[in-house]
Amino acid sequence: MTQPNLGTALITGASSGIGAIYADRLARRGHDLILVARNRERLNALARRLSDETGRNVEVVVADLADKADLVRIENILHKDASITTLVNNAGVGATQNLLESDVDELEDLLTLNVNVLMRLTHAAAPGFVARGAGTIINIASIVAIAPEILNGVYGGSKAFVLAFSQSLRKELHDLNVRIQVVLPGATATDFWATAGTPVEHLPSAIVMQADAMVDAALTGLDQGEFVTIPALPDITELEAYEAARQKLMPNLSLSVPADRYTS
């Protein structure tokens, strides 16, 4: 059966792991693809397989998103290509060592990719989505956005940025028909862990999800209209209670006088 044409999805970090699974699933759903990462061979192999298997148009753009000129090339694609309906901000790196044992230049590179690049690509994509009255931005955060004590705090802070930015974007773009989903995976079996210094085999298998199961759950969450998706969380009412507590705080966070406990 011919798939519907859902427009083009631009996926960053599509050469491996979670991004490559998004590419597979979005092509099968009826998206054409623009795959972005540094590893040309992996991108080309994935593009060939997906276009053979799905008949979709799959374009490869080799780019180091930490390089400003390369990043601007991707921003220009997002500005100009009106067929783009979906942006998956997935490219990211982690850190598993404590702050005091970490190389500060590597942490700065992490912030560039996980924070600045995601912000700039969103800023590039959103105006077109607003002008066309439709679009979806999927931001890949992490459970460490709300549990930063688990891993390196700079990585956790970068993912807390992704969550906070997504919360704000959702409010700003909701009435303009632009959907935001923020995905908070737990440990997922990809190269991420080896790249960050702790191979995934060193983690207890009970906390590690396979990447295809993680992405399939996240896309089901998207279909269900979720804003925050935590693929592993068994009981959604726990997340709802957490969000309700946050909402309850909001009207009282900025008042003209200090709280009694600070003045009596």
List residues binding ligand NAP (CB under 6 A): 13-19, 37-39, 63-66, 90-94, 113, 140, 142, 185, 187-188, 190-192, 195
Q: How far is the CB of 132 from ligand NAP (least distance, A)?
A: 26
Give residue 188's region: left, alpha or beta (phi > 0; psi -120 to 50). Answer: beta
Closer CB to ligand NAP, 17 or 148, in the complex: 17
Q: Identify the active-site residue in 22, 155, 242, 262.
A: 155
Is 155 known to be catalytic? yes
Specify the DSSP element, H or E, that contains 122: helix 118-132
Q: Among candidates 113, 115, 137, which has minimal Cα distance to 126?
A: 137
Report d(CA 76, CA 89) in Å as an integer.
16
Q: How far is the CB of 242 from ligand NAP (least distance, A)?
A: 18
Structure tokens at 16: 């491996």
User: Do 156 and 145 form a contact (C-beta atoms < 8 A)?
Assistant: yes
Q: From the CB of residue 133, how many other CB atoms can be counted at a distance below 10 Å? A: 9
Q: How far is the CB of 115 from ligand NAP (least distance, A)?
A: 11
Closer CB to ligand NAP, 8 or 190, in the complex: 190
Closer CB to ligand NAP, 134 or 239, in the complex: 239
Catalytic (active-site) positions: 155
